[in-house]
């Protein structure tokens, strides 16, 4: 059992944080790939920290390859519903620190081009080929 100092006295830090992840990908027509990920963390304790509010967020992305996978585009939307606020209380010796972050919805567009992409995959022989031919 872990204990932490708090202005109101000692606190017992033995309630684990539950973390739930959901990851999903879906192939759409026209070669599009849609990904949807969600994360939920429950209230609880982790070592000397206490998560005081349930935290959850959802991320989405859409990607497409062009020109035989030499060129690709990825559009990503993180924290789509603007809900990833966190409220954490950290106990460290004589100090108690509260960290509260606001939700930050972000999006990005990534464009990639592969120069000198390998045209043929290696088709060499393995180390055991000589022994196979003797049998």
pLDDT tens digits, one per residue of 98-117 = 777 776 888 899 898 888 76
Residue-wise burial string across 85-124, b where 16 or more C-beta atoms lie within 10 A, e elsewhere = bbebbebeeeebeeeeeeeeeeeeeeeeeeeeeeeeeeee
Considering the domain boundaries, does residue 131 fall inside one? no
Cα–Cα–Cα angle for 103, 109, 114, rounded to 5 degrees: 140
Considering the domain boundaries, does residue 96 fall inside one? yes
Considering the domain boundaries, does residue 118 fall inside one? no
Domain region containing 74: 3-112
Of 73, 79, 74, residue with least CA distance to 106: 79
Considering the domain boundaries, does residue 23 fall inside one? yes
Confidence category of residue 23, pLDDT binned at 50, 70, 90: very high
Please write the tens of the pLDDT for every residue from 35-81. Answer: 999 988 887 777 777 777 778 889 999 998 888 778 899 999 888 88
For position 120, what pLDDT does the model report?
A: 63
Considering the domain boundaries, does residue 121 fall inside one? no
Considering the domain boundaries, does residue 130 fall inside one? no
The percent of residues above 70 in pLDDT, for the chain, comes to 73
Considering the domain boundaries, does residue 71 fall inside one? yes
The model's pTM? 0.62
User: How many domains are contained in the chain?
Assistant: 1
Considering the domain boundaries, does residue 123 fall inside one? no
């Amino acid at each position: 059992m872990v204990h932490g100092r708090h202005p109101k006295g000692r606190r017992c830090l033995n309630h684990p944080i539950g973390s739930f992840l959901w990851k999903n990908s879906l192939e759409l027509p026209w070669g599009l790939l849609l990904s949807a990920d969600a994360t939920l963390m429950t209230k609880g304790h982790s070592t000397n920290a206490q998560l005081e509010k349930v935290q959850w967020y959802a991320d989405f992305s859409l990607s497409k390859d062009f020109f035989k996978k030499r060129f690709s585009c990825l559009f990503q939307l993180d924290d789509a519903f603007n809900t990833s606020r966190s409220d954490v209380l950290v106990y460290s010796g004589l100090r108690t620190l509260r960290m509260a972050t606001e939700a930050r919805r972000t999006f990005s567009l990534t464009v990639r081009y592969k120069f000198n992409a390998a045209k043929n995959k290696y088709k060499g022989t393995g180390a055991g080929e000589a022994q196979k031919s003797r049998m």
